[in-house]
Amino acid sequence: MSEMKNLPKIPASEFAFVGDEGRLHDKKLETKPVGYFKDAMLRFSKNKSSVVAAYIILILVLYAIFVPIFCETSYSRSLTDTTYLMYTKLPPKVEGLGWLGMDGTSNVTLNVSDYNTLRAIAQETGLNPVVEIYRENYTDPTSSGKTTYYDVKVDNYYRMGMTYMTLTPAEFEAIQAWQDETGIQVIYPAITDSKQTDANIWYEANRKGVATLDSEGNFQPIYRTTTPTDTTYHSLRIAADNDPENPLSYARVTGTSAAPSYVVRVCKYNYFQYHYGFEPSFVFGTNDKGQDIFTRLAAGARFSFLLAISISFINLFIGAIYGAIEGYYGGAVDLVMERIADIVYGIPFMVVTTLFQLHLANKVGVVPALLFAFVTTGWIGMAARVRMQFYRFKGQEYILAARTLGASDWRLMFKHIFPNSLGTIITGSVLVIPGVIFSESSLTYLGIINLESSTMTSVGSMLANGKNYLSTDPYIIFFPALFIALLEVSFNLFGNGLRDAFNPSLRGVE
Amino acid sequence: MVKYILKRLLLMVMVFLIIISICFVLVKLLPNKPAEQFGKDMALIEMRREALGYNKPILEQYVIFLRKSLLGFDWGVSESLYLGQDVWTKFMEKMPATVVVNMYTMIFAVPLGLLFGIYAALKKNRWQDHFISTAVIVFVSVPSYVYAFLVQYFLCFKLKWFPFQVKAGYDFLSWDMFVSMVPAIISLGFGTVAGLTRYTRAELTEVLTSDYLLLARTKGLSRAQTTVRHALRNAMVPIFPMILGEFVGIMSGSIIIEQIFGIPGVGPLYVASITAATPDYNFFMLLSAFYTLIGLLSGIIVDISYGFIDPRIRMGSKK
């Protein structure tokens, strides 16, 4: 106070207003404002692995959405078209990806009669199934020593060989017209029925199927011949068919004379070209029923995604309301509701699924029953998360202020507290998805639920299906397994990235 | 503490009873009468069902079930899976396979997980840590049956080191049995090791940056001494209950791995009891009770062990 007295007296006229010339405004911010979500997105995009994971998820989702729409090779046609049943267990084949092992070949050990059959296919059709011979004509010392074996690399697409088909006259004509047009032979000469029933063996063979070769080591054909006047077949002929007096027969006519049908021997590979208009080559191969794994996996993935996302939403809805009420009111309400959650949580998930399957599956279908089972126990995690957030925020001053201003409970809960827990909720909802897909695939794999049908499949059923062919055709299980592994890893990375991004306490730490 | 444990146990018994009651009612609502078939004496089946009391009202059956099974510990006989055999004996017969496989897994997985976790924490933010953390993310996320397929294909089929399925027989501790179990142990172990590594790393890195470690270093202890005596001990407080929980959990095992490798454990029994054409009530009830109990117990044991390991943690106190 003493210093005050020493201050010189300044007359009032000496003072002037600061900024008197106009009204004083707040300066407009030159940078853009960064809100909560924007900040989260900024920090998320700094997390490289999560961004990569997000892109992988995007690719998987796009695959699941668009592949079943655009590629209907054998998935959606499977109901009406039985042709695909012939093309079972073909390994993956992609033009230009042979170095990845996706060239449709496999290494096998054959006995002499099987090996002869492959050679005969090559000779007759010009499509050589034997790509490479590693070891030929050796005897297995552990067996009786009579049979000789061959270790070869075979092309499974050419190995399919021949099959018998019964055609109507119109189809028979259509194939012949197509043959004339493209120069690709589909129909091959018929075999003398009394000698051989296997469509692939067009040569003299003993009862075990071992070829009886002539003195020069060539196959001796047992083709059926016909009269030169037979005009039912007038298209391409094989090279050996050059005797105009005894032309080979290309079809066995059955049925009545008014409605004949033609039993013909067709090359499966070329028939595929005729039927579908392109050469067979399946990106992920075909399964034991001849269904294309690439499209079927996409359909299964789409189902799994839809199931997981709908469960995630329902869980979010129930869990948010339940958790909000628990957390907001606390006390006795909380205690009772927590015990209920405990009980529901305590029932093993498998018991729930099974009971729902057994009780409901006949009434509402397998998928809704599964959905109910997931929702029955699934909401608890979300409720617990929301409850925690409510406990954190409900005691804060701004809530007190809002309450003093007369905000209702409902408004406080969902307008003031709930948005604060949005980050955790979003993270939780995202992390539900891989969990659901994992549980679904485990349950289908165990055979508790059955989602496999001609129009529907899931990743789990594809795994369960492929396990029987693990040692012979591993690709059937490989691609679904790869898909689920990729999905789980990227979803977890993505979820972790989201969690860190939405956690405000980590701001500026990285 | 005693009060807290008692309270938790009482609550557990209550929850357990309610779950079992729900299961009982729901499973009894299922039709389980065998379909009429050539060669089946329906009159005989009907007589057996009458004798077993299946035609009584559900409430009466429930009281009988409570008195006989829960109090008298008689879980009845099997009706479809092992016709006429005592359910409890069969269950105890299947139990060792599950426990042995999971025990082996834990014996290998726990030290490995701790080791990797400690190593990663000590090498934090160096390439070793990044490598381990990436591997952990992959192994935690990928489902165990995917490893099972890989292990089966490469180790069992391509390299022929191990048999495809677990050896038959009851000599669970023999060497041959162990070798045949290795694929299952590996498939189960990946996830456990990865989970434990992640947890250990997280806990230990947090402890390693704390002030009292700096004090320990400044007073002249070597890095190894501080890590083992100070950091690890404190990091173990949350890690140990987790390991304990896993040990309780091994009783329930992994149903899917047991199925893949043909382990004659309780998992396949459970699946069979519910997927059978006529559900096996008694097996289902026993196994549901078993799984529920294991789940509840492991939760309680984990919670209680916190208090024993670290006296600073007072479970259930108001503060």
Q: Per the CB < 8 Å rule, is B143 touching A438?
A: yes
Q: Which residues pair with B77 in a beta bridge?
A: B86
pLDDT at B113: 92
Q: Which residues pair with A164 in a beta bridge?
A: A265
Can you tell me the mean pLDDT for A145-155?
A: 80
Of the partner residues B142, B153, B275, the one whose CB lies closest to the CB of residue A474: B153
Q: What is the mean pLDDT of chain A?
A: 81
H or E element at residue A155:
strand A148-155
H or E element at residue B13:
helix B2-28
- In the numeric block, the tokens 């434990």 are attached to B196
pLDDT digits (tens, 9 = 90+) for A208-238: 777 777 777 778 888 877 777 777 777 777 7
Q: How far apart are CA A320 and CA A279, in angstroms?
A: 54
pLDDT digits (tens, 9 = 90+) for A350-369: 778 877 887 787 788 888 88
Residue A442 forms contact with B (CB below 8 Å): yes
Torsional class of B84: left (φ above 0), alpha (ψ -120 to 50), beta (otherwise): left
pLDDT at A144: 66
Residue B296 forms contact with A (CB below 8 Å): yes
Q: How far apart are CA A297 and CA A487, in angstroms?
A: 13
Residue A469's pLDDT band (cuts 50, 70, 90): confident
Residue B244 forms contact with A (CB below 8 Å): no
Residues 6+ apart with CB under 8 A from A339: B11, B15
Give the mutation candidate from B9, B13, B19, B266 for the A interface (greatest A CB count, under 10 A): B19
Encode burial over A49-67: b for 16+ CB neighbours within 10 A, e otherwise.
bbeebbebbeebeebbeeb
Going by C-alpha positions, the residue among A452, A485, A449, A486 that lies closest to residue A466 is A452
**CB of A426 within 8 A of CB of A502?**
yes
Residue A448 forms contact with B (CB below 8 Å): yes
Residue A331 forms contact with B (CB below 8 Å): no
Residue A88: is its pLDDT beyond 60? yes
Residue A74's pLDDT band (cuts 50, 70, 90): very low
Max CA separation in chain B (angstroms): 86
pLDDT at B319: 39
Residue A376 forms contact with B (CB below 8 Å): no
pLDDT at A109: 84
Structural domains present in chain B: 2-88+270-295 (no CATH), 93-268 (1.10.3720.10)
pLDDT at A80: 53
Q: Per the CB < 8 Å rule, is B271 touching A447?
A: yes
Q: Which residues pair with A187 in a beta bridge?
A: A266
Residue A400: is its pLDDT beyond 80? yes
Angle at which helices A48-70 and A293-329 cross, to 10°? 130
Residue B221 forms contact with A (CB below 8 Å): no
Output A129-134 pairs: Cβ under 8 A, ≥24 positions apart: A129/A154, A129/A155, A129/A156, A129/A158, A129/A159, A129/A161, A130/A154, A130/A155, A131/A105, A131/A155, A134/A107
**Could you tell me what percentage of chain B is helix, strand and coil, using 3-state DSSP and rounding each to the nearest 5?**
75, 0, 25
Residue A79's pLDDT band (cuts 50, 70, 90): very low
Q: How far apart are CA A216 and CA B60, in angstroms?
A: 87
Residues 6+ apart with CB under 8 A from B268: B255, B258, B259
Angle at which helices A349-364 and B2-28 cross, to 10°? 30
pLDDT tens for chain B, residues 1 to 319 = 788 888 888 888 888 888 888 888 877 877 666 666 777 777 887 887 787 777 788 888 888 888 888 787 788 888 777 777 888 888 888 888 888 888 888 888 999 999 999 999 888 888 888 899 889 988 888 888 888 888 888 888 888 888 877 777 777 778 888 888 888 888 888 888 998 998 888 888 888 888 888 888 898 888 888 888 888 888 888 888 888 877 776 666 678 888 888 888 888 888 888 777 677 778 888 888 888 888 888 888 887 787 777 766 655 554 3
Looking at beta carbons, which residues of chain A come within 8 Å of B15?
339, 342-343, 346
Q: How many CB atoms lie within 10 A of CB B314?
A: 13
Of the partner residues A339, A347, A441, the one whose CB lies closest to the CB of residue B143: A441
DSSP labels, B100-159:
HHHHHHHHHHHHHHHHHHHHHHHTTTSHHHHHHHHHHHHHHHS-HHHHHHHHIIIIIIIS
DSSP labels, A359-392:
HHHHHH-HHHHHHHHHHHHHHHHHHHHHHHHHHH
Going by C-alpha positions, the residue among A179, A180, A183, A199 that lies closest to residue A191 is A199
Cα–Cα distances in Å, from A326 out to A384, A402, A432?
9, 20, 21
- Tell me yes or no: is domain A293-506 CATH 1.10.3720.10: yes
Q: Per the CB < 8 Å rule, is A347 touching B22?
A: yes
Q: What is the pTM of this model?
A: 0.82
Q: Per the CB < 8 Å rule, is B288 touching A348?
A: yes
Residue A445 forms contact with B (CB below 8 Å): yes
pLDDT digits (tens, 9 = 90+) for A258-300: 888 888 888 888 888 887 777 777 878 787 877 788 888 888 8
Max CA separation in chain A (angstroms): 141
* Domain ranges for chain A: 98-159, 163-276, 293-506
Looking at beta carbons, which residues of chain B come within 8 Å of A485?
141-143, 146
Q: How many CB atoms lie within 10 A of CB B144?
A: 20
